Amino acid sequence: MAEILESLFGSKAKARLLRFFILNPEKECDLAETAKRNMISIQNARKELEVFKKIKLVSEKRRKGKKFYFLNTNFSFYGELKSLVTKSNVYPQCQNLSKVKNIGDVKLALVSGVFLNYSKSKADIILVVNSVNKGKLNNLMNNLEAEIGREISYVLMNSDEFKYRLDMLDRFILDFLEAPHDEIVNKILGLKRLINNLKMRR
């Protein structure tokens, strides 16, 4: 789906900026922050923002000598663009999710929230990882946020902590497992049976 947006809107930079502003209507960002958050060059960000300004999709204000850009929610096709962008941000279309296996000894990776358009979820990702590589984890999250266009809420723990929280019937974990979610990695024996039992209880 990301490729479809890029084809429709002409470039990865334009598609990422469109997603970013549509999904963060309250944010005001200067040029450097906009480029950094979307992992595109400042030159590309400046070029596409000028196009968006011209058609009145984004507006501009000055504060302390710097230009800040923000979404114009009165844009004629705001509703249609929001619907299109939202549909493009669901699992399994997010290409960077496949890289989660590279961040360490991954025992469990579950997605919900923004990936499933499930706004009631208290987290977008739960990760159970032993010997996590913090650099690769940060890189993964930065890439996912650039791809999706908004910040990601994730919970990280190791196997011992996850087992302890399950044994203690931790409400956050149980709520996440009962609610809509998808598995990227599941190497925890018996977890699928537990999830099915939780769902049958609802």
CATH code assigned at 54: 1.10.10.10
Q: Answer yes or no: do 80 and 119 share one domain.
A: no
- At residue 147 the predicted structure's pLDDT band, cuts being 50, 70 and 90, is confident
Could you give the angle at the alpha carbon of 138 between the alpha carbons of 174 and 70, nearest 5°? 95
Average pLDDT over residues 153-175: 94
Average pLDDT rounded to a whole number, residues 102-124: 93
d(CA 14, CA 5) in angstroms, rounded, equals 9
* Average pLDDT value for the chain: 89
The answer to whether the CB of 182 falls within 8 A of the CB of 116 is yes
Tell me: do 161 and 132 sit in the same domain: yes
Domain span at 177 = 95-201
Position of tokens 């049958």? Answer: 200
pLDDT on residue 182: 92
Indicate if 35 and 63 belong to the same structural domain: yes
Q: How many distinct structural domains can be found in the chain?
A: 2
137 φ, ψ to 5°? -65, -45
pLDDT tier for residue 4 given thresholds of 50, 70 and 90: low
Measured CA to CA, the distance from residue 21 to residue 43 in angstroms comes to 18
